Chains A and B, each alone.
Chain A
Amino acid sequence: MIGQDTITLAKKIRMHALKMTNRGKSSHIGSVLSMADIIAVLYGEVLKKNSKNPLWPDRDRFILSKGHAGAGIYAALAETGFFPIGWLAQHYACGSKLSGHISHKGIPGVEFSTGSLGHGLPVGTGMAYAARMEGKKHRVFVLLSDGECDEGSNWEAVLFAAHHKLSNLIVIIDYNKIQSLDTVANTINLEPFNSKWTAFGWNVIEMDGHDHDQLKDKLNVSVHYGEKPICFIAHTIKGKGVTFMENSVLWHYRSPQGEEFVAAMSELES
């Protein structure tokens, strides 16, 4: 992306993801749109990384635990030079490496493969523990969905990270308040969400997950060992950027086709 601002990057991520899910007739466009601003700020400004040396030891680690939104990460990686943008056309296609749920195999820049929920945080916790053992200063970011917080494995890691004061571990929750079949409130209510994380011993910061100024200001944390791990609860809108997809359960699974695709693309382009 070199030189492009995070607003432009977010727009490109959204457009790529819309085209990818249209071409592949695949799901989860709502989940990508909801996190696109967070991803744009992370990849555009916050993460220390090197597209020419994806395994640079001092890079910040980023794990997408909500692996179903992998199209957004593939788009961000392509836009920031990790692989050619042309690869995105192969998303979800027969013979492709770009699977619907994010995979690292053969894809430069993908730190870890997910797809089954509740896996990313324990792994990120292990990475953060290893980094602290070595006195490293890089950070480990893990992006979770809200529905994913139903998984008990997350809370095992939440306990562990607080006990060990892994302040180099940074969780971001894409709190769009809609999960697979219904709203979070109607499925398994997470509220009082902030209090839960706080009670577990985390430093909790709430923010608008679409406000780039807030995201830039808050996400770029520095590591001070001995302090609490950080949980950003990012309030977001599922389907953000396409009016008829916003706050709609339907667009977790519905694939953008025909007139709906055209209308969505024209709104994103405008």
Chain B
Amino acid sequence: MRDAFISVLAEIARIDKNVMLLTGDLGFGVLTEFAYEFPKQYLNVGVAEQNMTGIAAGLALEGKTVFTYSIGNFNTMRCLEQIRNDVCYHDLNVKIVSIGGGFCYGALGISHHATEDLAIMSSLPNLKVVAPADKMETKLATFEVYNNTGPFYLRLGRGGESELYSNPPKFIIGKSIPVFIGGDIAILSIGGILENVMKARLILFNEGIKTSVYSFHTLRPFDYDQIQKLINQVKLIVTVEEHLAKGGLGSRVSEILAGKYGDRPALLRIGLGDNFMSEVGDQNYLREQTGLAPYQIANSVKYEIKRNKI
């Protein structure tokens, strides 16, 4: 995803000389070509995320469109107040791009597990929060993040993700993408975990259970309309995220369901618990430790079908 992002940003930077990329001294091997081609539009501010975000705000106040780049929690939590006060309160054209959402950097330890970011970032006024699922979504998202004025958080994976789409989907900020349609069960996914959700769908399909799958790439603004439609269409909504089960996609859906009178679908939220990982491992290993492997997602859905007598 990071290569998809930077290739699109280069396309944009060739045309719009007001676009700038700031890094907090990260992006080895990823940003090299961009830095070489656009020396005036590239700035390594050093290992200083608070300053990077403040500088981004200052540049944006002077008319620049600024992308800040780092990994994990560094350009989100380390400088959260700069994002809140300097970027969001002033509603500036600053796009915060973090690589390594979820357990991408699993073996590096908890400092590099970005597993609370969606909850935290989506609580900030004026900030739009987007987490694309694969390279295709990342390319489309990067254009949209650039085209839409104002602050954004763009949560990306790392590299080497599978291609999930055979044709480019219609990508609109705040509108989910229907990936598969059919059945009484809708599985909603945010970010790179869509890959496992699609595998889980196949497992279920082979056992005669039809499910719809939606990529909810934007947490804010949220696609309330789609949830309202699903409330009338399905018996079970499942949310899957490589993130705390609280505060992200599952929470958004539960808030809507909680305000709904009468018949409503059951809700299963699949995500992480309120604890740090006690062991490290690669992304797939940690996904399995937290119930996010394809077979585990499928089993959780089957259990919920049985429990709710669907």
Contact = CB atoms under 8 A, between A and B. Distances in A.
A117 to B, nearest CB: 10
A122 B54 contact: yes
B59 A157 contact: no
Contact of B58 (A114, A118, A128): A128
Q: Chain B interface mostly helix, strand, loop or mixed?
A: helix
A1 to B, nearest CB: 26
A153 B90 contact: no
Contact of A126 (B40, B59, B85, B89): B59
B58 A129 contact: yes
B50 A115 contact: no
A50 interface: no
B63 A122 contact: no
Nearest to A163: B46
Contacts of B56: 126
Interface in B32-91: 40, 43, 45-46, 48, 50-51, 53-64, 81-82, 85-86, 89-90
Nearest to B55: A126
Given A116-B81, A160-B48, A126 B54 contact: yes
Q: Range of interface residues on chain A?
A: 20 to 34
Contacts of A179: none
Measured as residues with beta carbon below 8 angstroms from the partner, the interface class of chain B is 20 to 34
A121 B57 CA distance: 11
Interface string A187-219: 000000000000000000000000000000000
B61 A126 contact: yes
A52 interface: no
Interface string A119-151: 101111111111101100000000000000000
30 contacts: A111-B61, A112-B86, A112-B90, A113-B85, A115-B85, A116-B85, A118-B50, A119-B54, A122-B50, A122-B57, A123-B55, A123-B57, A124-B58, A125-B54, A125-B55, A126-B55, A126-B57, A127-B62, A128-B58, A129-B43, A129-B55, A152-B50, A153-B51, A153-B82, A156-B51, A157-B55, A159-B48, A160-B45, A160-B48, A160-B51
